[in-house]
Amino acid sequence: MTKDPSPPGGYRPGDRELDVLREAADAAHREIAEHITVTTAEGVVASARVTQLAEASRKAYRKISSMRGQLTRAQKDGDAEKIAAAHRKLEQAKADFDQVSEAGIAEGHQIVQAGLERMDTTFALMDKSWAAGDQVIEALGRPKPSR
């Protein structure tokens, strides 16, 4: 039995089929690597945006608390005009909170949906990359073409 003179790593000069498979596998690996890089950056941006949305909601809720305090003080004073004004401000703060929260929830949902779509793409590219690598491995297991 003769030893295979091919260098380690399965390089077989002149095996065009193997070269084509390797090029396809390398391209698939680059594609998933680029996708993961972009996805990671998009994830950082999405996370920062979700943090901003949550802070906007907290800020709007703090405004409600503040307006409740003003209403309580106005009620203690007993001035009807101050009580009515404080009530209006409280109702406006509640409406603002609802608007901010609803918009934040809607945008948060879009962010999550985009993340899930990126994840689907990631899985599809992983499958493609692994399949391309498997084809190279299978080709390496076949006998070298005769010259």
Q: Which domain holds residue 53?
A: 18-140
**Domain assignment of residue 2, yes or no:** no
Q: Which one is predicted more confidently, 5 or 77?
A: 77
Question: Which residues have C-beta within 8 Å of that of residue 17, sequence separation ≥ 6?
Answer: 139, 145
pLDDT at 16: 87
**Domain assignment of residue 146, yes or no:** no
pLDDT at 4: 53
**Domain assignment of residue 8, yes or no:** no
Number of domains in the chain: 1
Q: Would you say 137 and 10 are in contact if contact means Cβ atoms under 8 Å apart?
A: no
**Domain assignment of residue 97, yes or no:** yes
**Domain assignment of residue 7, yes or no:** no
Q: What is the pLDDT of residues 28-77, one digit of tens each?
A: 999 999 999 999 999 999 999 999 999 999 999 999 999 999 999 999 99
Confidence of residue 140 (pLDDT cuts 50, 70, 90): confident
Exposed, middle or buried: residue 21 (CB in 10 Å: 0-12, 13-18, 19+)? buried
pLDDT (average), residues 120-135: 96
Minimal CA–CA distance to 24: which of 144, 130, 141, 140? Answer: 130
Q: State the CATH number of the domain containing residue 61.
A: 1.10.287.620
